Chain A
Amino acid sequence: MGDQSSSGNLNQKIDVAGEKQEVEIAELTSRFLDGDLASGEFDCLQQQLKRDPVARRYFIDRMLMDAHLPDLLSTGTIGDMVDVLNGTVNDDLDGADSCLLTGQGISGRQERREINHKRSSLFSLKNSLAFSLLVLMGCAGMWSLGWFQAGPALVEVKSLAVVSRLRDVRPQDLKQPLAVGQKLNAGIVALESGTAEILLQNNVKVLLQGPAELELIDPMHAYLRRGRALFNVPSEAIGFVCETSEASIIDLGTEFGVHAGEASGTAVQVYVGEVIANAIANEDSELRGRRVRSGQAVKIVKGYQAVPEELRFAPNRFVRFLPDPNDGDDPEKTETGIYNNARHQELHIVRAPAEIEIDGLLNDWDLTGQFASRCEPPFDSFYYVRGAAMYDEQYLYLSAEVGDPFPMRSKVSPHIQRSLYGHGGCLAFRISTDRRMGWPVRGRSINDEEEEGFRQLLPEDLNDQLAFLVLWYYEPEKLPCLHVKYGMDEHDRKVNPPGYAGAFQKRADGLGYTAEYAIPWSLLNAGDDPPQAGDTLGLTWLVHWSGPEGQNWRGQLIDIVNPAITGWNYNQAGTWGRAIYDPRPGGSATGTK
């Protein structure tokens, strides 16, 4: 059966102990896995496993995979499968799934994307262990060991809250000083412009949008006098109350926005979870309250007979951070993880000035080719990019000014070998340096988006001059990193190879960063024939964002695309936009649609 590896062509015919009987180990193993094995076939399998160590290894590898799959997969329904297999898919389900972490995306259309809802194996494992523990340890003695932990500890701050970040707040608009890191006691926070994020001592997070006045009363109670505020309430703070002049909103574990102080009353909008919205002037206990769930909004007007009335849910009513993909019921969470509409089909790559210093400052850059792209509301305030590229005989230069509320925090180590490095936040590029091919780029991955299964790879799919780059900042070592892999089959991966230079600078307000890289053409297999002025090759630009912990992917932006070709950029190089190498410094303006 070949070598000791269990991979390769395993559907082989095997002679059993000199007999002429032909048995296919793969078929038997497959039937074993599917619980569909006749007794005679079982005996045949057993004979194979007894006699042939290679067959045994083949069998074991597949059994182990079978044992691991339930913990790694979420629960699907046959209804989903019916839609897929019967061909009744709509546009949202059409096409292949995308891997969040390789920056795959779609040009020009929305596609269904499955967020990796990995069920922790510990959940199912703990059921087994917990049961066993209770069987054996029912005596009170085990409780005295402190085996069962107390609830989560509160954030230890001496004051009621702290200002965790500010954006676009003009000092002249402040009635009292407000600075990042400033501790707040009970009292009023007022700002006439910009956005302030306030973290309470019980981890309730408030995003206050100026002009607004918010009175902090205690960890579980705030009064919004006017303006807009978004509340993110963790489970340990369920029951948090936000009041306005018309309404009292009791949180049941959620993210919700409140807009108060208008003549039209108070608007309450729920993004995740549920609240109870009460019209406080109405004394009728049955009428004044209403449950508001994710994707819903209500309005409460002044007056004794006011009741919460349904309001149209408006996504951009409040500024928001990208939702956690693992928050199941957030209506703003896109199924694909893509939060922008691509607007650019080309990027002008201009000739680099003679002296370029890779320091994360772009004051020596020619930015005439720069493009801008932004996530769609309500995320546009915090999530955007201004990207630019330059070239000379030796290097490709890439720069990006990125809006990111949690910048440069990636905990994804370059020292651990993995297939993906971008889930802590990164820039990513798919690029062609093949001058003979030009544009559009030809190349497809092994995944067949039309049919179920895989396709045969062609030589153009293995082209070493098609590259996937991931640029990220490894925060624990303050290290600008680079991951490169080649071809549509992503072969020959390199992490932090010699020759490149990179630098990151965090924005002063902490809500973004600038990245600057010089990548030698030799690393892109174009050292002997780098792109020249007048060339039009292929490129697509991606930005990935993570949460504050720097390792949980939240979403992405994809731009510089070819809308004439549909598919995921990791599957179909034809979707990559045009990279136009301008002939002289001060080249054309930003590419337009």
Chain B
Amino acid sequence: MNYHPDQLEDFMRELTRHQTRLRGLIRCLLFDAADIEDVWQDTNVMLLRKAGEFQAGTNFWAWASTVARFQVLTHCKTKGRDRLVFQSGVIDLIAEDVVQLGGEIDLRRDALQECLQKLPSPQRRLLEIRYGAGSSLPQIAEKVNRPVGSIRQTLYRIREALQVCIERRISTEPLS
């Protein structure tokens, strides 16, 4: 690989800037958490390998998301008859919708960050345990001696409240 230092620096800057979007895209396409991490890694490795193909000034997101989508498809093929894998047609439909969101993905993330600050402490803590510590619902349910369904319902309500909050903020943010 022969890169001009400036070229590689530009590429790395774009790659870093788009990590949030790439991860979001892959999350939309895969069910299993371990698969998401694997594909995310594979995507970054592939993008780095192809760094020489990227031309500065072109649409990095369009290019990188295509690479990510192919990585997902490749990964799904290796899963074979795993029933919890989207069909390729569904993957294409979802991926297309996500790609079109573009910068809105970043805006939603920023809005989510603000909305999290408004979350009451017990609800935020539940999210931290679920997402920060990575505890499964059965683990949480067992520890707090509540049915899994109760935990799921609470998480659902919290997510919906956050979603409403995000939508409210997005609706007032100028999309640039």
Contacts and interface: CB of A to CB of B under 8 A. Distances in A.
Contacts of B89: 50
Residue of B44, B112, B155 contacting most chain A CB atoms (<10 Å): B44
B3 to A, nearest CB: 8
Given A36-B152, A37-B31, A125-B19, A132 B167 contact: no
A35 B33 contact: yes
A76 B93 contact: no
A100 B131 CA distance: 22
Contact of B16 (A36, A96, A113, A129): A129
B46 to A, nearest CB: 9
Nearest to A65: B112
A67 B23 contact: yes
Contact of A129 (B19, B31, B108, B118): B19
Contacts of B159: 30, 33, 62, 65
A539 B19 CA distance: 45
Interface string A84-101: 111000000101110111
Interface in B122-175: 122-129, 131-137, 139-140, 143-146, 148, 152, 154-157, 159-164, 166-167, 169, 172-174
B44 A30 contact: no
Contact of B132 (A76, A84, A417, A418): A76
Contact of B167 (A5, A36, A53, A145): A5
Interface residues of A, number: 82
A93 B131 contact: no
Interface in A119-135: 121-122, 125-126, 128-129, 131-133, 135
Given A36-B152, A78-B133, A452-B154, A42 B113 contact: no
B118 A99 contact: yes
A34 interface: yes
A49 B48 contact: no
Interface size class of B (residues with CB under 8 A): 35 or more
B105 interface: yes
Contact of B172 (A35, A417, A420): A417
B108 A65 contact: yes
Contact of B20 (A32, A62, A68, A95): A68
Residue of A6, A62, A133 contacting most chain B CB atoms (<10 Å): A62
Nearest to A85: B144
A135 B134 CA distance: 27
Chain A interface mostly: helix
B113 A76 contact: no
Nearest to B1: A136
Interface in A31-73: 31-37, 39, 42-43, 46, 49-50, 53, 56-57, 59-73
Contacts of B40: 128
A100 B117 contact: yes
B16 A125 contact: yes
Given A82-B143, A116-B117, A131-B41, A145 B5 contact: yes
Contacts of A59: 28, 94
B90 interface: yes
B136 A84 contact: no
Contacts of B139: 78
Given A56-B93, A76-B132, A36 B137 contact: yes
A69 B131 contact: yes
B39 to A, nearest CB: 11
B74 interface: no
A77 interface: yes
B53 interface: no
A49 B94 contact: yes
Contact of B121 (A31, A37, A112, A122): A112
A46 B101 CA distance: 21
A35 B116 contact: no
Given A36-B152, A132-B48, A418-B114, A61 B108 contact: yes
B169 A419 contact: yes
17 contacts: A36-B148, A46-B86, A49-B86, A50-B93, A56-B93, A65-B159, A71-B20, A73-B116, A73-B132, A77-B129, A78-B139, A81-B125, A85-B146, A99-B118, A131-B41, A417-B172, A454-B161
Given A56-B93, A61-B108, 5 more contacts: A73-B128, A76-B126, A125-B23, A129-B15, A136-B48
Interface of B: 1, 5, 8, 12, 15-16, 19-20, 23-24, 26-28, 31-33, 40-41, 44-45, 48-49, 83-84, 86-87, 89-90, 93-94, 97-98, 101, 105, 108-109, 112-114, 116-129, 131-137, 139-140, 143-146, 148, 152, 154-157, 159-164, 166-167, 169, 172-174
Interface of A: 5-7, 10, 26, 30-37, 39, 42-43, 46, 49-50, 53, 56-57, 59-78, 80-82, 84-86, 93, 95-97, 99-101, 112-114, 116, 118, 121-122, 125-126, 128-129, 131-133, 135-136, 145-146, 417-420, 447, 449, 452-454
Return the 3 tightest CB-CB contacts between A and B, nearest first.
Answer: A76-B128, A97-B121, A96-B120
